[in-house]
Every structure is written in C-alpha cells, then in structure tokens.
Amino acid sequence: MSNLRILQPTASELLSGAKLRSQAEIDDYCAFCMTMRHQFQRSALSGDGQATLNRIHQSRLADLGLNEALQRLSEAEEEIATLLCTVPSVKGLYVVRAMTAEWLLGENG
C-alpha cells in the first residue's frame, strides 16, 4: 500500500497515468509463459513424448495467434533454460500464468 499510495490522493494520479502494453508485448509475454510451462512438462517425458508435446505446444500457440511471438521467443531460450535449472520453484507460477494467457487469448477470453 505504501508503494502504490493506495487510499492517498496520489493514487488517482497513478491510475490516470496507466497505459496498456502493446499487443506484441502481451503476445510475447503470453508465449513466454506458455513455453515455460511447456518446458516443465517436456522435461518429464521421453523422446517420443517430447516430440508429441512439441507439436501440441506449437499447434496451441498457433491457435492463439502467437506464431510471431514464438519466433521472437527463440532469443529467450537461454533465459528459459536458466530459469528451469536455477529456480524450479517458479513452476507453479508459470503454470498459472500460462493458463491465464490461454484464457486471455482464447475464444472465451
């Protein structure tokens, strides 16, 4: 509350200056979250299972209109690998974020 100054006169100034991010930035973040979840799932499977899951993942991203974001995401592969190895506790966080991204971009979102 002290950081956002909620319930103080300056809260309205903060809210009135809020801006939406660009669609490309939103798409990139959603693709990142979904790819993080995908990598967690993928790590538990063998070769054939991984190949099948890769196809499902790419198909789902395409269905959500995230093909361009997936192409841009190739630059973040090192970041994803680092997070997977060094911060396994983020798994639940990215599962929830990925589900939220699918809801946000899906037909019913």
What's the whole-model pTM score?
0.76
Q: For residue 108, what pLDDT band results from cuts at 50, 70 and 90?
A: low
Percentage of the residues of the chain whose pLDDT score is greater than 70: 88
pLDDT in tens, 4-29: 656 666 767 777 888 889 999 999 99
Dig out the tokens for 46 from the structure.
């063998």
Length of the chain: 109
